[in-house]
Chains A and B, each alone.
Chain A
Amino acid sequence: MNTLKFIFKEIAYSRYNFLLSIIAVTAGVGLFVAFFTATRASDRETKKIMLYLGQNLRIISNDTDMDFFYEQGYPDKEMPQQYFADFQNTNIFVYNHVSATLQKKIDWQDSKVIITGTSPEKPTKQKPMPTTYAIEPGTAHVGYQLAQKHQIKKGDTIEIDGLKLKVENTLARAPSEDRDNIRIFMDLTDAQKILNLPGKINEIKALECLCTIETPGGEIVEPEQLARDELKKILPQAQVLLSRGIADIRQKQRDMIIKYANFIMPTLCIVLGICLAVLAMLNVRQRQSEIGILRALGYGSCRISILLLGKFVVIGIVSAVAGFYAGTQTIMYYGPGIFKITAKAIQPDYSLLQTAIYAAVAFSIISAFIPVMLAISTDPAKTLKND
């Protein structure tokens, strides 16, 4: 009788043991496939969410002295105001808020003041009603420190380099390290007049900015790189800096999930491996007489090992297919509800099937190996004695 027929007859005979073994390995494979597919979906989702969360973009001139920028908090070089229009006219980016600013530190009445001119937000197709507060020309918002020092109140008029501005508001105290305490906010055109920089800006800020470009094949790329690549096309003389506060938190969450996976999957493998080993032990104990008689009939250890372990190869293959199907169906069913943004990208990954077969077969054999070897090494004479 050939080996396969032998194995399948034994499987049919000890079907409950076989079924329990199948369930144990299928559960492992199914969870692995579901978890792996979910992790990849989560990865896509996180990246998409990071895109959707948007980046806080700071667009500054290419030739900005970055030492100055990081020290002072604003760029030392200006860009044409046209850049702002170009940025707003492109439909590549959508954002919650965009503004152009012109900032420069000057001496004013024995104080260091950062003149900060801001442009009004242009209504767009996506955002017909700008949400940000626009500063009216001829008005100013005075930082806390300046207002305190110079006794400036709402309704006062201040004069900076000959330009009179009505104080619309004085700002609340910002955190001590924040430069807003020494800023005077005004309309961009007023700042350009004071600083004698007509038609110039030195920064574009886009908050919660989202790049709408779809990459070929729906591939998800790092949002930072995508934003840089797309901006280069429309503002070649500018550079972009990103602050990623929320995105970083998401990234940390994702890293945490991966850490959990790295703990859960090996633990699961150990538990299921023990279950399978116990089932293998029960099976080979029942087959001790069979092993003994096979030895008496001249079968070698190698042949008997193949007969015993062959069953676990079958268990591995059947469980891999069943587990792949179960895991895939589970994630296909529940995945779209969990990963709403990338729902369409959740597809069966058939490359996992091959991996699952190899892994499940190896897992089954490794789990059964010790019980099988113990059974084979048991003295057959003891088994065959009349007890």
Chain B
Amino acid sequence: MIKIKNLTTTYNKASKKVIALDDLTLDIAQGQFAAIQGPSGCGKTTLLMTIGAMLQPSSGDVVINNENIYSLSQYNRNRFRAANIGFVFQMFHLVPYLTILDNVMLAAVKKDKSSKDRARQLLDEFGLAHRITHRPDQLSTGEKQRTAIARAILNNPPLILADEPTGNLDPENAAIVLKFLKDYHSKGHTIVVVTHGQETKNIATVKINLKDGKLS
């Protein structure tokens, strides 16, 4: 599913070159639930964004479903990302002026009735049917994260990338979110989660430990 080879990402910070990922090579097989863990600043989020076709690496390859994503044009990379990858973030990143339904529909590759029906169905499954006309500022944090997950899985992508999805949630809501992720994984999809939480680590099938941009 995901093949990472000799991945190096560097950036400049205060005129100093920082190596975020250092010649990293790893594979994540189809249907895995991978937890990326490590201390702050070790490159977890950078790795997640790079897998998500969001961050051009300095060198190395990222191959997802036999597609070397950084050899694609920007346009095709965008299309690939929309069709194959769902994102869940700690900060939810919902568009504040759109309703919950519209936020979920943002992810739809085809803005047709079937997408809208699926969005409604997902929101119903996540217990948000009564909230579809509400805006994000009218939701609790748990409801926001459930909306973000509904958005991430609208297109039924084979890969979900989640950056500390329970980091902002109370234990009850964190458990709900983890259950959704576990259920999605159980349908054969691949999940990659950046986490500090023990509960997430417990359900992960693969643990990737990072330290100073390298596997440890």
Q: Which residues of A contact B (CB under 8 A)?
A: 1, 6, 9-10, 12-14, 289-290, 292-301, 379-381, 384-386
Q: Are A10 and B164 in contact (CB under 8 A)?
A: no
B89 within 8 A of A: yes
Q: Which residues of B contact A379 (CB under 8 A)?
A: 55
Are B79 and A381 closer than 8 Å at their CB atoms?
Answer: no
Residues from chain B with Cβ under 8 Å of A295 in the complex: 54, 78
User: Which residue of A is nearest B80, CB measured?
Assistant: A298
A9 contacts B98, C-beta separation under 8 Å: yes
Docked-complex contact A299 and B78, CB < 8 angstroms = yes
Assess A292 versus B93: contact at CB under 8 Å? Given A1-B105, A297-B82, A298-B78.
yes
Q: Closest A-chain residue to B9, C-beta based?
A: A381
Q: B113: CB under 8 A from chain A?
A: no
Task: Report B-chain residues with C-beta under 8 Å of the C-beta of A14.
Answer: 97
B54 touches A380 (CB 8 A): yes
Q: Closest approach, in angstroms, between the C-beta of B50 and any C-beta of chain A?
A: 8
Establish whether residues A300 and B97, one from each chain, have CB atoms under 8 Å apart when the complex forms: no
Asked if B176 CB lies within 8 Å of chain A CBs, one says no
CA distance A13 to B78 in the complex (A): 27
In the assembled complex, how far is the CB of residue A302 from the closest CB belonging to chain B, in whole angstroms? Answer: 9
Contact check, B54 vs A13: say whether CB atoms are below 8 A apart. Answer: no
Contact A296 B164 (CB under 8 A): no
Main secondary structure of the interface of A (DSSP, over half): helix
Q: Does A298 contact B81, Cβ atoms closer than 8 Å?
A: yes
Given contacts A1-B98, A298-B83, contact A289 B111 (CB under 8 A): no
A19 CB, min distance to chain B CBs, angstroms:
15
Q: Is B36 an interface residue (CB 8 A)?
A: no
Residue of A14, A295, A296 with most chain B CB atoms under a 10 A cut-off: A296
The 8 closest A-B pairs by CB, nearest first: A298-B82, A13-B97, A381-B49, A293-B93, A386-B90, A381-B55, A298-B78, A296-B87
Q: Are A296 and B52 in contact (CB under 8 A)?
A: yes
Least CB separation from B103: chain A residue = A293
Report the minimal beta-carbon distance from A379 to chain B, rounded to whole angstroms. Answer: 7
> Are B97 and A384 in contact, with the CB atoms below 8 A?
no
The answer, among A12, A289, A301, A384, for a CB contact under 8 Å with B54, is: A384
B46 lies within 8 A of A381 (CB): yes
Closest B residue to A9 by CB, please name it: B97
13 A-B residue pairings within 8 Å (CB atoms): A1-B102, A1-B105, A9-B98, A293-B93, A297-B106, A297-B151, A298-B79, A299-B82, A300-B74, A300-B75, A384-B49, A384-B163, A386-B89
When the two chains form their complex, are residues B82 and A1 in contact, meaning their CB atoms are under 8 A apart?
A: no
Is B188 an interface residue when CB atoms closer than 8 A count as contact? no
Q: Least Cβ distance of B145 to chain A in Å?
A: 13
- Asked whether A381 and B89 contact (CB < 8 A) given A1-B98, A294-B106, A386-B164, the answer is no
Give the shortest distance, in Å, between B118 (CB) and chain A (any CB). Answer: 15
Given A293-B95, A298-B82, A298-B83, the answer on whether A386 and B163 have CB atoms closer than 8 Å is: yes
Q: Is the CB of A381 within 8 A of B93?
A: no
Cβ-defined contact, B93 with A289, below 8 A? yes
Within 8 A of A (CB), among B91-124: 91, 93-98, 102, 105-107, 109, 111
Q: How far is the CA of A300 from the CA of B111 in the complex (A)?
A: 16
- Cβ–Cβ < 8 Å partners of B98 in chain A: 1, 6, 9
